Amino acid sequence: MSPLAISRRLKLLGTYDFQLYFPFMPQLTSSSGTRFLLTTFSWARPQVHGKLLKSRRTFPSPSVPFAARLLRCPFRVRSGGEGPGERRTSVASTSVVSFLLLFTFLLSPLASSANTQRYRLTWRADPATTMTIGFEQYHGSSARVVYGTEDHGRDANAYPLSANPARFVNHAGMRNVFVRLKGLTPATVYYFLVVDSDGTSRRMSFETPHDSPDRPLSIIAGGDSRNNRETAMAANRLVSKLKPHFVMFGGDMTNGDTPEEWQQWLDDWQATISSDGRLTPIVAARGNHERSNESIYEIFDVPNPKVYYSLDFAGGLLRTYTLNSLFPAGGDQADWLEQDLASCKTMWKFAQYHHSMRPHTVSKPERDELIYHWGTKFYRYGMNLVVESDVHTVKQTWPIRPSQEPGSSQGFIRDDLRGTVYVGEGCWGAPLRANNDNKPWTRASGRFNQFKWIWVDINQVQVRTVMIDRSSYVVQENNLETRFKSPPGMYYWDAANTGDVLRILRRTEVANSMARNPPLAAQSTPSIQAASAPAVLVRDGNGAVRVSYSMPAGGRPEILIVGAGNRLLWRGQLPVRGPGPYSDKVDLPELPRGTKMELVVKAGGKVVAKYELR
Ligand SMILES: [Fe+2]
């Protein structure tokens, strides 16, 4: 077997946990006289563990090819077992170990693995009942998928269902194979293997989204991984932890659209696979670094070769629109968008595309044509949320609509009742740009690696901006029951005017909210945990709190701190605000701790929010 074939076999195992046993050679002796026993060897993404005698050493390996790591891994073993004198074994002994490991790999049952890798999930039709499984087949023949709702491990014969590929396409130096599954049951976990003439893949799984509008959805949305693989891998690992129903990816996966970069990108994408083998579907858009539509169509088998398409989720809860800003925005694409939106009956509508209409950095061109062809339709048909990319900075807007009327700026004006919220702009690893072009309708902007974690339910949408770098140490994986909880170690953007959760209420709720005038914090959804703003405000170390409230009309809100016996302890004012929801950070003076106090927000002589202050 050629070194290349060996390397490929090893790369195939990139996310596989396994054990190797050495019945024929249970004990090795290094040239230094150190004896050690290789009892198990496991590769648990992204680390290699070697157990030597009773000690154990871990070799972090985020990006070095496995074979290369084996050949140069500096085994350090303890002389005399647990003694303090640690020394490095000779190169010769390391090479012997490396050779034995490689040799044993080829003799092990894993040598019968299928010749497939770079797995990905996409949709071409109803996500609740279909799934496209894509992969590269680099050798062998007769690839197919066996699957079922029970986990039979790698026993291919035990799976009751089988499907053959619907499409083969050579692209980016890979033979891409797509198996399109149909007739699936919603809200069901399917276990599957990719089987070919030489063996079977590892056991993987996917989940069909539910089809119930009264149950929430979890979505990750971002874009622009480009050339910073370390950040992209950190984001990919967070996908594996959070287990969203799917990922919306706004293009610019690679920098140069070369075969090598795409192969690396798909290798890195395997980090989105959870430890239990679960893959997360990707809904892909095209960016300007994809030189043609084929880059997306041939790798993700999206429903339309022109890379604009829509998908329905959760039985009428959500429809997503993926648009192609590298294709004429008007003409056929605009006609299709108008017709689709006009017939759309879902409760929520989201859109994604690559180029930001109004970039929040000065070095990027304005995209007036996107406002004209798309932004106007978003407003006309009630688009709720738009995820943009390309700029490599961070922004979120107030609800806005296209306008040239007095008070508008750069073609938009704030409209809390019927406007669309725009978020973005990239940052899944691409070089960051300055957020130096805010607008009057900008809610907040920033500059850091991020993606959006979006929860959708029947009453509201919650958008959290995940700070990738700070959250890269998250260890705990959500399960399907805890997917609406934040694992320990997650960091969210505490954005101006927002806090860490940007909420979008149903439009009827917005109207009612503004009529009834309750604080925004009261609009939480019980089914989603950690969602509601607290009824209790706890001062941080600097004595500051973040206060959410809703203005019924324009005016200057007032903050009152009231102690026991309704004694006024402090009074302050916030800047003048227009109608709508707000979330402001308020620096409080030194106040006694441990005594019961209330924080009251008043506007126009009325109480618009009230909290217990601690
Ligand atoms: Fe771009």
Q: Which residue shows structure tokens 């019961």?
A: 596
pLDDT at 512: 64
Tell me how far the alpha carbon of residue 254 lies from the centroid of ligand 1, in angstroms. 10
Tell me how far the alpha carbon of residue 429 lies from the centroid of ligand 1, in angstroms. 12
Tell me how far the alpha carbon of residue 245 lies from the centroid of ligand 1, in angstroms. 25
The lowest-confidence range among 25-39, 260-274, 429-443, 548-562 is 25-39
Highest mean pLDDT among 43-47, 102-106, 172-176, 562-566: 172-176
Which burial class, exposed, middle or buried, applies to 568 when counting CB atoms under 10 A from its CB (0-12, 13-18, 19+)? exposed
pLDDT at 211: 96
Tell me how far the alpha carbon of residue 452 lies from the centroid of ligand 1, in angstroms. 18
Single-letter code of the amino acid located at 423? V
Nearest one of 214, 119, 209, 171 to 483, comparing CA atoms: 209
Tell me how far the alpha carbon of residue 392 lies from the centroid of ligand 1, in angstroms. 8
pLDDT at 45: 35
pLDDT at 17: 32
Tell me how far the alpha carbon of residue 423 lies from the centroid of ligand 1, in angstroms. 15
3-class DSSP assignment, residue 436: coil
Tell me how far the alpha carbon of residue 62 lies from the centroid of ligand 1, in angstroms. 26
Neighbour-count burial for 471-485, b at 16+ CB within 10 Å, e otherwise: bbebeebbeeeebbe
Tell me how far the alpha carbon of residue 432 lies from the centroid of ligand 1, in angstroms. 12
* φ/ψ bin of 243: left (φ > 0), alpha (ψ from -120 to 50), beta (otherwise): left
Tell me how far the alpha carbon of residue 382 lies from the centroid of ligand 1, in angstroms. 27
Contact (Cβ atoms closer than 8 angstroms) between residue 221 and residue 247: yes
d(CA 526, CA 14): 40
pLDDT in tens, 79-93: 333 333 333 333 344
Tell me how far the alpha carbon of residue 224 lies from the centroid of ligand 1, in angstroms. 7
Tell me how far the alpha carbon of residue 252 lies from the centroid of ligand 1, in angstroms. 6
| Percent helix, percent strand, percent coil in the chain, to nearest 5 | 20, 35, 45
Is the per-residue pLDDT at 59 higher than 70?
Answer: no
Q: Which CATH superfamily is domain 116-207 in?
A: Purple acid phosphatase-like, N-terminal (2.60.40.380)
Confidence of residue 428 (pLDDT cuts 50, 70, 90): very high
> Is cis: bond before 46, omega within 30 of 0?
yes
Sheet with 309-313: list strands edge to edge. 309-313, 318-322, 348-355, 385-389, 421-424, 394-397, 442-446
- For residues 427 and 92, the model is more confident at 427
* Fold (topology level) of 520-613: Immunoglobulin-like (2.60.40)
pLDDT in tens, 93-129: 444 445 555 544 444 444 467 799 999 999 999 999 9
Single-letter code of the amino acid located at 387? V
Is the per-residue pLDDT at 439 higher than 70?
Answer: yes
d(CA 270, CA 190): 18
Tell me how far the alpha carbon of residue 122 lies from the centroid of ligand 1, in angstroms. 22
Task: Output the six-digit token pair for 501.
Answer: 């959760």
Tell me how far the alpha carbon of residue 341 lies from the centroid of ligand 1, in angstroms. 26
Residue boundaries of the structural domains of the chain: 3-112, 116-207, 217-500, 520-613
CA 191 to chain centre: 22
| Average pLDDT score over the chain | 81
Tally of CB atoms within 10 A around 156 = 19
- For residues 109 and 416, the model is more confident at 416
Annotate 213-227 with DSSP letters as a single string.
TTS-EEEEEE---TT
Is the per-residue pLDDT at 72 higher than 90?
Answer: no
Which burial class, exposed, middle or buried, applies to 498 when counting CB atoms under 10 A from its CB (0-12, 13-18, 19+)? buried
pLDDT at 515: 61
Single-letter code of the amino acid located at 15? T
Contact (Cβ atoms closer than 8 angstroms) between residue 265 and residue 228: no
Nearest one of 498, 541, 542 to 520, comparing CA atoms: 498
Nearest one of 262, 242, 244 to 253, comparing CA atoms: 262
* Fold (topology level) of 217-500: Purple Acid Phosphatase; chain A, domain 2 (3.60.21)
pLDDT in tens, 485-494: 999 999 999 9
Tell me how far the alpha carbon of residue 290 lies from the centroid of ligand 1, in angstroms. 9
The share of the chain scoring above pLDDT 70, in percent, equals 77
Tell me how far the alpha carbon of residue 168 lies from the centroid of ligand 1, in angstroms. 28
Sheet with 131-137: list strands edge to edge. 116-122, 131-137, 174-181, 167-171
pLDDT at 550: 80
Domains 217-500 and 520-613 share a fold: no
Tell me how far the alpha carbon of residue 535 lies from the centroid of ligand 1, in angstroms. 41
Tell me how far the alpha carbon of residue 326 lies from the centroid of ligand 1, in angstroms. 10
Tell me how far the alpha carbon of residue 323 lies from the centroid of ligand 1, in angstroms. 14
Q: What is the mean pLDDT of residues 36-43?
A: 34
Q: Supply the pTM of this predicted model.
A: 0.70
Residues with CB under 5 A from ligand 1 (ion): 252, 287-288, 390
Tell me how far the alpha carbon of residue 354 lies from the centroid of ligand 1, in angstroms. 7
3-class DSSP assignment, residue 312: strand
Element at 12 (helix H, strand E): helix 3-12
Tell me how far the alpha carbon of residue 229 lies from the centroid of ligand 1, in angstroms. 16
Tell me how far the alpha carbon of residue 333 lies from the centroid of ligand 1, in angstroms. 20
Tell me how far the alpha carbon of residue 296 lies from the centroid of ligand 1, in angstroms. 14
Contacting residues for 287 by C-beta, under 8 A, at least 6 apart: 223, 224, 250, 251, 252, 253, 326, 354, 389, 390
d(CA 465, CA 528): 17
Alpha carbon distance, N-terminus to C-terminus of the chain: 69
Confidence of residue 48 (pLDDT cuts 50, 70, 90): very low
Tell me how far the alpha carbon of residue 391 lies from the centroid of ligand 1, in angstroms. 7
pLDDT at 344: 94
Instruction: Determine how β-strand 606-613 pairs with β-strand 536-537.
Output: parallel
Tell me how far the alpha carbon of residue 355 lies from the centroid of ligand 1, in angstroms. 7
Tell me how far the alpha carbon of residue 438 lies from the centroid of ligand 1, in angstroms. 19
